[in-house]
Amino acid sequence: VQLVESGGGLVQAGGSLGLSCAASGFTARNYDLSWYRQAPGKERELVATITGTNGNSQYADSVKGRFTISRDDAKNTMYLQMNSLKPEDTAVYYCYARGEDYLARLSRQRGGFDYTYWGQGTQVTVSS
């Protein structure tokens, strides 16, 4: 099982950047997918989530209206389009998958494997 992020880099404030997260070893449609980020000296925070069942999405207040999360289950891939970037968006961005089918929920309920996975992260740096 693997999550691999790509697309990070250096961009000027006000610019745009797109991230991708390619999943392998599991069926992404059975998972809720999320982007997290962690800036130096700060805790990891949730940026956005998109559900596997109906594609509903939720965003942190700090990125609403600027970031868009999406998924292509045929490609087992999740995306994050980031527009109007600000220096405070600088962080390592991680993708996260949490199994939400019946077996995953039952396993967690019974204290078994939690069916959650993290990617290795990709650096996004926004210069002022």
| CA 45 to chain CA centroid, nearest Å | 11
pLDDT band, residue 98 (cuts 50/70/90): very high
pLDDT band, residue 56 (cuts 50/70/90): very high
Checking if the pLDDT of 32 tops 90, the result is yes
pLDDT band, residue 90 (cuts 50/70/90): very high
Length reported for the chain: 128
Residue 26 pLDDT = 86
In the chain, the DSSP E strands lie at 2-6, 9-12, 17-24, 31-38, 45-50, 57-59, 67-72, 77-82, 91-99, 116-118, 122-127
Mean pLDDT of the chain: 96
Identify whether the C-beta of residue 94 lies closer than 8 Å to the C-beta of residue 49: no
Average pLDDT over residues 110-114: 94
pLDDT band, residue 27 (cuts 50/70/90): confident
Q: Give the Cα-Cα-Cα angle 29, 33, 38 (nearest 5 degrees).
A: 165
Checking if the pLDDT of 61 tops 90, the result is yes
Checking if the pLDDT of 28 tops 90, the result is no
Residue 1 pLDDT = 85
CB atoms within 10 A of CB 28: 22
Average pLDDT over residues 36-50: 97
